[in-house]
Amino acid sequence: MNVALLLRRLFWVVAFALLASAAARAQAPAAAATANEYRLGAGDVVRISVYQNPDLTLETRISEAGTISYPLLGSVRIGGSTVAAAEKTIADGLRSGNFVKQPQVSLVVTQVRGNQASVLGQVNKPGRYPIEVTDMRLSDLLAVAGGINPAGADTLTLVGTRDGKPFRKVIDLPTLFRADNRADDIVVHNGDTVYVERAPVVYIYGEVQKPGALRLERNMTVMQALATGGGLNLRGTEKGLRVHRRDAAGKLQVIEPKMDDLLVDGDVVYVRESLF
């Protein structure tokens, strides 16, 4: 075979392979964007208009069945569709019914009520909130709920459904915004519930300045807890400190701790009175 002809054939094979690869890469983001587009849900209020056909303008709420009643078409199911797909459904109906030759349909969501997520527990404004954007993340939802209140723990639990299967994830808030841990700031889905538990506490009583309950910070030691409680009063002594702790079976244990020992949720620290 002629060498020049072989080189030309090889060139076209490589060129077609590169074009196919570029097309595949171009389609991948489009597919991902479609998957993340907002989908209309029951309770959403939509405004529909058709270019140069003002009599076909309609503002309505999507029913629990996912349908709307549209002029000339009657009941149209758009629940679960993206905005673009709903526009196409209405345009196809108008075209196939010979009502409008080349309909240009525009649909705008004026109120989002169909897709919602719940935030419960130790947040400033617990309740159900609409998912108003397609990529609303956990941090966005917590911000809408007013953030975590002072009694809230450092961890939260998100439950919902992913790919038709039950989904549950415990998320550590202090590490949520680390550059290497953004995967935990997950996209919120319709029906998700976020629960923020009460923070763990320890109790101090006896000869301290401020006896009572304290928030148990991470890796808090006996010394740190005493410092948080204002330290010992004039009658207190570090000698004979006691920690009352429940074991896994619920049985009460009395421990003589060192000042650098770690405390656990529910511990009760007792400071004795000095004998001298």
Please tell me the predicted confidence (pLDDT) of residue 36: 56
Please tell me the predicted confidence (pLDDT) of residue 135: 78
Pair (96, 126) in one structural domain: no
| Within a domain: 180 | yes
Which domain-ending residue is among 96, 111, 126? 111
Please tell me the predicted confidence (pLDDT) of residue 9: 57
Pair (153, 140) in one structural domain: yes
Q: What is the CATH number of the domain that holds 235?
A: 3.10.560.10
Pair (141, 194) in one structural domain: yes
Pair (139, 171) in one structural domain: yes
Look at residues 153, 164, 160 and name the one whose alpha carbon lies nearest to residue 193. Answer: 160
Pair (120, 190) in one structural domain: yes
| Within a domain: 248 | yes
Mean pLDDT in residue range 115-139: 88
Question: For 180-214, what is each residue's pLDDT tens digit?
Answer: 767 788 889 889 999 999 999 999 999 889 999 99
Model-level pTM? Answer: 0.63
Pair (260, 227) in one structural domain: yes
Amino acid identity of residue 99, one-letter, is F
Taking the C-alpha atoms of residue 174 and residue 219, their distance in angstroms, rounded to an integer, is 14
Domain that holds residue 210: 201-271
Question: For 51-81, what is each residue's pLDDT tens digit?
Answer: 999 999 999 999 989 999 999 999 999 998 9
Taking the C-alpha atoms of residue 204 and residue 78, their distance in angstroms, rounded to an integer, is 60
Pair (190, 235) in one structural domain: no
| Within a domain: 24 | no
Residue 19 has pLDDT above 90, yes or no: no
Name the maximum alpha-carbon separation found in the chain: 109
Pair (205, 189) in one structural domain: no
Q: Count of domains in the chain?
A: 3
Residue 22 has pLDDT above 60, yes or no: no
Q: What is the CATH number of the domain that holds 67?
A: 3.30.1950.10
Amino acid identity of residue 92, one-letter, is D
| Within a domain: 161 | yes
Pair (143, 96) in one structural domain: no
Which domain-ending residue is among 83, 111, 139? 111
Question: For 46-57, what is each residue's pLDDT tens digit?
Answer: 999 999 999 999
Which domain-ending residue is among 198, 214, 234? 198
Question: For 153-181, what is each residue's pLDDT tens digit?
Answer: 999 999 999 888 999 999 998 888 776 76
Least reliable range by pLDDT among 14-23, 64-73, 247-256: 14-23
Q: Which residues contact 163 (CB under 8 A, 6 or more apart)?
A: none
Mean pLDDT in residue range 245-265: 91
